[in-house]
């Protein structure tokens, strides 16, 4: 089995679909066949060997590394179910789309729709993410349904829109409509949030470590008896990225329920007291 490294040598002037670049799929491909793999571009195709220098080493588990600025490469890790995929540089839209297993690590910025409709596995973005991270694709009814998305920088608008299950962690700021139409799952934001926080939220948990400038009028303060839930939540977050890893042992947060405009039973927790 091969561990493969792809180093960007020629950036095309059009967007390229990188959904074929999966660790398990490429691990079994021979050294001579790898450069001939064709990737679909905008109205044309291009060979893997024309875009990347390719290096292989023997490994026990499937692994793929992409080095260089690849913001023109969309769908990295899409439908990935096993193995490790690491990107040292920026990548395009739909990173980790419908991912169900394995680990995708991006040491740079990611485009829009990162982890959209993700089912499982882990996606870590050590930079910023664009709009609609962990959300649903246009026309679909369910966003992320499992797994973990960890964003070490900022997230764009509509974070976790229609999310149904899983965990989303944003160390920095989030844009407008964060956790909009949330059905279930846990969303944690360490920085500032934009307008319309929790719009249409039905269930699930939205945790903020920085109080918003305005609590939505359709959220009501109150609720007791969630001590055990808070203990379990902070224990889980203790293994995660800062600032959430530092919440263990902190006093109970303020709790709000909503979005009451949709008869929502979600909870907004504000931990900076």
Is 67 within the bounds of a domain?
no
Residues 146, 138: contact at Cβ < 8 Å? no
Q: Are residues 48 and 161 in the same domain?
A: no
Vertex 268, ends 187 and 147: CA angle to 5°? Answer: 15
Is 230 within the bounds of a domain?
yes
Is 92 within the bounds of a domain?
yes
pLDDT digits (tens, 9 = 90+) for 141-191: 999 999 999 999 999 999 999 999 999 999 999 999 999 999 999 999 999
Reference 168, options 206, 218, 224, 216; nearest CA is 206
Is 128 within the bounds of a domain?
yes
**pTM: predicted TM-score of the whole model, two decimal places:** 0.94
What mean pLDDT do residues 102-108 have? 98
Position with higher pLDDT, 273 vs 269: 269
Is 69 within the bounds of a domain?
no
Q: Are residues 147 and 34 in the same domain?
A: no
Of 23, 39, 62, which marks where a domain is finished? 62
273, pLDDT greater than 70: no
Is 14 within the bounds of a domain?
yes
pLDDT at 61: 87
Q: Are residues 27 and 129 in the same domain?
A: no
Residue with tokens 């509509």: 158
* Domains held by the chain: number: 2
Strands 165-170 and 145-151: parallel
Question: What is the domain range of residue 19?
Answer: 1-62
Q: Are residues 79 and 191 in the same domain?
A: yes
Q: Are residues 119 and 185 in the same domain?
A: yes
Element of type H or E holding 122: strand 122-125
Q: Are residues 184 and 258 in the same domain?
A: yes
pLDDT at 19: 97
Cα separation, 51 vs 11, in Å, equals 7
Q: Are residues 139 and 187 in the same domain?
A: yes
pLDDT at 248: 81
Q: Are residues 142 and 82 in the same domain?
A: yes
Q: Are residues 152 and 58 in the same domain?
A: no
pLDDT at 59: 74
User: Among 44-53, 106-115, 144-153, 219-228, which is the least confidently predicted range?
Assistant: 219-228
Q: Are residues 105 and 44 in the same domain?
A: no
Q: Residue 160 is encoded by which pair of tokens?
A: 């976790």
Q: Are residues 103 and 36 in the same domain?
A: no
Q: Are residues 22 and 151 in the same domain?
A: no
Strands 52-58 and 2-8: antiparallel
pLDDT band (50, 70, 90) for residue 108:
very high
Q: What is the mean pLDDT of the chain?
A: 94
Q: Residue 264 is encoded by which pair of tokens?
A: 């929502």
pLDDT at 225: 74
What mean pLDDT do residues 181-202 have? 97
Position with higher pLDDT, 227 vs 219: 219
């Amino acid at each position: 089995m091969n561990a493969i490294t792809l180093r960007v040598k020629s950036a095309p002037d059009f967007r390229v679909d990188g959904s074929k670049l999966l660790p398990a799929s490429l691990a079994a491909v021979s050294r001579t066949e790898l450069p001939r793999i064709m990737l679909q571009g905008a109205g044309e195709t291009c060979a893997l060997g024309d875009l990347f220098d390719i290096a292989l080493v023997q490994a026990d588990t499937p692994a793929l590394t992409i080095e260089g600025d690849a913001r023109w490469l969309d769908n990295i890790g899409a439908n990935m179910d096993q193995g490790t995929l690491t990107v040292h540089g920026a990548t395009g839209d739909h990173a980790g789309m419908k991912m169900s297993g394995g680990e995708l690590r991006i040491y740079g910025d990611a485009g829009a729709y990162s982890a959209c409709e993700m089912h499982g596995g882990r996606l870590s973005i050590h930079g910023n993410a664009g709009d609609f991270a962990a959300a649903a694709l246009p026309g679909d009814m369910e966003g992320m349904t499992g797994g973990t998305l960890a964003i070490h920088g900022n997230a764009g608008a509509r974070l976790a829109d229609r999310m149904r299950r899983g965990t989303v962690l944003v160390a920095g700021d989030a844009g407008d409509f964060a956790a909009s139409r949330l059905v279930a799952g846990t969303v944690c934001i360490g920085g500032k949030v934009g307008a319309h926080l929790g719009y249409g939220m039905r269930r699930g948990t939205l945790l903020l470590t920085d109080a918003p400038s305005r609590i939505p009028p359709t959220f009501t303060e109150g609720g007791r008896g969630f001590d055990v839930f808070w203990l379990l939540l902070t224990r889980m977050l203790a293994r995660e990225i800062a600032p959430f890893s530092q919440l263990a042992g902190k006093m109970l947060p303020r709790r709000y329920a909503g979005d009451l405009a949709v008869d929502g039973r979600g909870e907004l927790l504000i931990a900076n007291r």
